[in-house]
């Protein structure tokens, strides 16, 4: 019995559905073959089984805490940081030249999924260090790279992203942290940042903060925001380190992910905080956004992985707990019979299939997007590069949001399977239910992602991204249509593609007329609608590969494994795809209910 993740499904998705081996023909990945990828994934699974999963409950019960200016995380992090450093997790996708492993991003995301399902309080520490190192590598000077990246690769130092400020929240154009030029190579930094994930801990000797700040005199709004490297401790001329006036002043106490610290940092309270500009002035936000796709994929992945852990936890319970009896043909139960396992009740099966559909559908989409990312990176032509970039751009807000929002529902179903025990701290689902609630808020809330999807991605380059996505979906429909069993579902997907075009056709004229508020008022409903169709595409793709494998009799799993993919696809189309018409109707309403009224109506 799987405890938090199904490796067989993960490998089916990687190798069969998304054919990651095709990527290995690219020069960048030439050193890898299926065997070496499997060895890497197996080592991550062993790490997760031994160093991560056994501690997730204890990290919830003994949260990271702030005391005397310091963040203290769970003692197990000492071992975790050391082992993760040895495994090369931070630099897994970096170039060999930068000390990385040059792994395909898709494979790394699969590894990340395993770790995060085992213990979602942990991988953010690796991810933020990796992301901030990547920013320095991509846009920083050679000096900055040499000064910071090597120590980050093995987690001797940690990295963070400092975007949010108390008065601005999601509105990054309102960042006020100030950077004052000096006659040296650095700026004086002054300001405060909140919600800094992985912001500090006792097992890395230094932290490298990537800070958005405004150089004195810069233009208002996002066009005046620059990016700085601001270490917690800076090196001095004699090679020693001195405190750089970057003070942890508190930690946010949260309802979940309690092992993963969220800090409040004050820079330059004593006017002695130095920051080094990354790249050019006033381009900070554009640099950040070039890392955003990966960060958002990782966040969605974290949501899907928590839902995975909850799914397997509730599945285990359903397979062990006897309760109730089957109804006989008079609609009665025979109390003298033995109780049946609850997994035999149709409603429990419904709760399980609903989780399986959300978890595996999300995971498939995550890997799909990662494939596009890898293909973009390794494209030989500009045209191909643009194609994969646009596909990635349009899917990213969905990858971030679908697992976050539907993951809540999925885990609520896991809680429900345990009955009263689901609410009790002795069992895991209640922790996952708390943990996952952050995912729809991190890295751009669902509202922000939805504005991005409808307001930017659907309209970008005259709808080219959407057009490319429609071609990909139609290709899946065509392949599925070769099988009688799948034909009706292929037809449904095609209808839904048409419905999406129709909805966009109704909404776009509002934008054309300059009524953007109206155009975007139901963006979140559009996200739900379009996300459901996209996951429906992934399920049809999975079912088609499963069906083909059954026909070819060349699977390395039992037949029931492939049948279960086809069955879950049918479940998704029967219980989830049926929602799209209602959502379309909502979006095409002419009432303008959320625009036409003043705030006093509440």
Q: Where in 370-409 is the site for its own copies (CB under 8 A)?
A: 408
Selected range binding its own copies among 33-41, 104-112, 283-291, 578-586, rule: CB under 8 A: 578-586
- Nearer CB in complex with its own copies: 134/412: 412
Selected range binding its own copies among 143-151, 185-193, 264-272, 320-328, rule: CB under 8 A: 320-328
Contact 7, 45 (CB under 8 A): yes
Among 514, 552, 553, 554, indicate the residue that binds its own copies (CB under 8 A). 514
Distance CA 184, CA 188 (A): 10
Task: Answer yes or no whether residue 420 interacts with its own copies by CB under 8 A.
Answer: yes
DSSP output for 69-128: TEEE--TTHHHHHHHHHHHT-TTTTS-GGGT-----HHHHHHHHHHHHHH-TTSHHHHHH
- Nearer CB in complex with its own copies: 24/441: 441
Closest CA to 414 of 461, 352, 482: 352
Q: Where in 210-269 is the site for its own copies (CB under 8 A)?
A: 220-222, 252-256
Contact 310, 428 (CB under 8 A): yes
Among 50, 270, 339, 556, indicate the residue that binds its own copies (CB under 8 A). 339
Among 27, 331, 484, 553, indicate the residue that binds its own copies (CB under 8 A). 331
Selected range binding its own copies among 70-78, 136-144, 351-359, 360-368, rule: CB under 8 A: 351-359
Selected range binding its own copies among 38-46, 171-179, 389-397, 475-483, rule: CB under 8 A: 171-179
Task: Answer yes or no whether residue 8 interacts with its own copies by CB under 8 A.
Answer: no
Beta bridge partners of 214: 178
Q: State in angstroms the smallest separation of the CB of 197 from its own copies.
A: 10
Residue span 523-552 as binding mask against its own copies, x where in contact by CB under 8 A, dash where not? xxx---------------------------
Among 233, 379, 445, 474, indicate the residue that binds its own copies (CB under 8 A). 445
Sign of the Cα pseudo-torsion (266, 269, 274, 275, in order): positive
Q: Which residues contact 548 (CB under 8 A, 6 or more apart)?
A: 483
Among 7, 24, 168, 266, indicate the residue that binds its own copies (CB under 8 A). 168
Q: State in angstroms the smallest separation of the CB of 127 from its own copies.
A: 18
Selected range binding its own copies among 74-82, 177-185, 387-395, 521-529, rule: CB under 8 A: 521-529
Paired tokens of 165 = 């400020």
Contact 107, 299 (CB under 8 A): no
Paired tokens of 328 = 């006989």
Q: State in angstroms the smallest separation of the CB of 508 from its own copies.
A: 12
Print the SS3 string covering 44-56: HHHHHHHHHHHHH
Selected range binding its own copies among 25-33, 182-190, 275-283, 570-578, rule: CB under 8 A: 570-578
Contact 93, 100 (CB under 8 A): yes
- Nearer CB in complex with its own copies: 154/522: 522
Give the C-alpha distances (Å, rounded to integers) separating 264 from 394, 532, 568. 33, 37, 44
Q: Count of alpha carbons within 13 Å of 465, Cβ hemisphere only?
A: 19
The three-state secondary structure class of 206 is: strand
Q: State in angstroms the smallest separation of the CB of 476 from its own copies.
A: 21
Phi-psi label, residue 256: left if phi above 0, alpha if psi -120 to 50, beta otherwise = beta
Q: Where in 48-77 is the site for its own copies (CB under 8 A)?
A: none
DSSP output for 456-479: IITTHHHHHHHHHHHHHHHHHHHH
Among 48, 298, 522, 539, indicate the residue that binds its own copies (CB under 8 A). 522
The three-state secondary structure class of 262 is: strand
Closest CA to 100 of 90, 109, 114: 90
- Nearer CB in complex with its own copies: 99/447: 447
- In the block, residue with structure tokens 């559009």: 526
Q: Is 64 exposed, middle or buried (0-12, 13-18, 19+ CB in 10 A)?
A: buried
Selected range binding its own copies among 150-158, 287-295, 415-423, 467-475, rule: CB under 8 A: 415-423
Task: Answer yes or no whether residue 180 interacts with its own copies by CB under 8 A.
Answer: no
Task: Answer yes or no whether residue 319 interacts with its own copies by CB under 8 A.
Answer: yes
Among 30, 249, 471, 597, indicate the residue that binds its own copies (CB under 8 A). 597
Among 352, 358, 390, 458, indicate the residue that binds its own copies (CB under 8 A). 352
Task: Answer yes or no whether residue 343 interacts with its own copies by CB under 8 A.
Answer: yes
Task: Answer yes or no whether residue 581 interacts with its own copies by CB under 8 A.
Answer: yes
- Nearer CB in complex with its own copies: 50/339: 339
Sign of the Cα pseudo-torsion (595, 599, 601, 602, in order): positive
């Amino acid at each position: 019995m799987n405890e938090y993740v199904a490796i067989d499904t993960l490998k089916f998705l990687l190798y069969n559905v998304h054919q990651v081996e095709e990527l290995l023909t690219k020069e960048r990945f030439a050193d890898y073959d299926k065997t070496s990828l499997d060895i890497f994934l197996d080592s991550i699974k062993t790490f997760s089984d031994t160093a991560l999963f056994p501690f997730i409950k204890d990290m919830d019960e003994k949260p990271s805490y702030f005391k005397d200016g310091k963040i203290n995380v769970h003692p197990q992090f000492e071992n975790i940081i050391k082992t993760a450093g040895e495994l090369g997790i931070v630099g897994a996708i970096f170039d060999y030249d930068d000390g990385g492993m040059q792994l395909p991003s898709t494979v790394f995301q699969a590894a990340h999924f395993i770790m995060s399902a085992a213990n979602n309080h942990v991988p953010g520490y690796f991810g933020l260090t990796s992301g901030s190192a990547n920013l320095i590598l991509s846009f920083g000077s050679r000096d900055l790279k040499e000064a910071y990246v090597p120590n980050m690769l093995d987690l001797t130092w940690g990295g963070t992203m400092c975007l949010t400020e108390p008065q601005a929240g999601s509105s990054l154009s309102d960042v006020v942290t100030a950077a004052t030029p000096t006659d040296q190579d650095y700026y004086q930094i002054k300001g405060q940042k909140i919600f800094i994930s992985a912001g500090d801990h006792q097992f890395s000797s230094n932290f490298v903060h990537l800070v958005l700040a405004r150089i004195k005199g810069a233009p208002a709004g996002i066009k005046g925001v620059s990016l700085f490297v601001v270490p917690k401790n800076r090196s001095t001329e004699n090679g020693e380190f001195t405190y750089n006036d970057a003070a942890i002043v508190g930690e946010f106490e949260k309802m979940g992910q309690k092992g993963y610290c969220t800090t409040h940092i004050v820079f330059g309270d004593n006017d002695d905080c130095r920051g080094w500009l990354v790249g050019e002035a006033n381009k900070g936000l554009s640099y950040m956004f070039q890392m955003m796709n990966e960060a958002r994929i990782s966040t969605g992945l974290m949501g899907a992985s928590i839902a995975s852990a909850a799914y397997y936890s509730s599945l285990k319970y359903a397979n062990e707990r006897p309760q109730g009896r089957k109804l006989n043909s008079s609609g009665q139960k025979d109390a003298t019979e033995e109780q049946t396992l609850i997994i035999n009740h149709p409603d429990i099966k419904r709760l399980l299939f609903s989780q399986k559909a959300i978890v595996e559908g999300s995971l498939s989409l995550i890997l799909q997007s990662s494939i596009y990312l890898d293909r973009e990176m390794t494209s030989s032509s500009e045209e191909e590069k643009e194609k994969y970039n646009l596909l990635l751009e349009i899917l990213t807000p969905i990858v971030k949001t679908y697992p976050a929002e539907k993951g809540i529902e999925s885990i609520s179903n896991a809680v429900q399977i345990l009955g009263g025990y689901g609410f009790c701290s002795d069992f895991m689902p209640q922790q996952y239910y708390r943990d996952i609630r952050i995912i729809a808020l991190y890295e751009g809330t669902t509202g922000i992602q939805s504005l991005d999807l409808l307001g930017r991605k659907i309209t970008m380059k005259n709808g080219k991204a959407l057009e490319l996505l429609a071609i990909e979906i139609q290709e899946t429909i065509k392949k599925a249509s070769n099988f009688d069993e799948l034909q009706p579902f292929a037809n449904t997907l095609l209808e839904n593609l048409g419905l999406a075009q129709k909805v966009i056709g109704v909404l776009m004229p509002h934008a054309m007329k300059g009524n953007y508020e109206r155009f975007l008022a139901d963006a979140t409903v559009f996200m739900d609608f379009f996300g459901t169709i996209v996951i429906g595409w992934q399920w049809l793709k999975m079912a088609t590969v499963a069906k083909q494998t059954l026909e070819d009799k060349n699977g390395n799993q039992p037949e029931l494994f492939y049948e279960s993919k086809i069955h879950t696809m049918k479940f998704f189309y029967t219980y989830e795809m049926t929602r799209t018409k209602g959502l379309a109707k909502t979006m095409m309403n002419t009432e303008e209910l959320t625009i036409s009224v003043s705030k006093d109506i509440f």
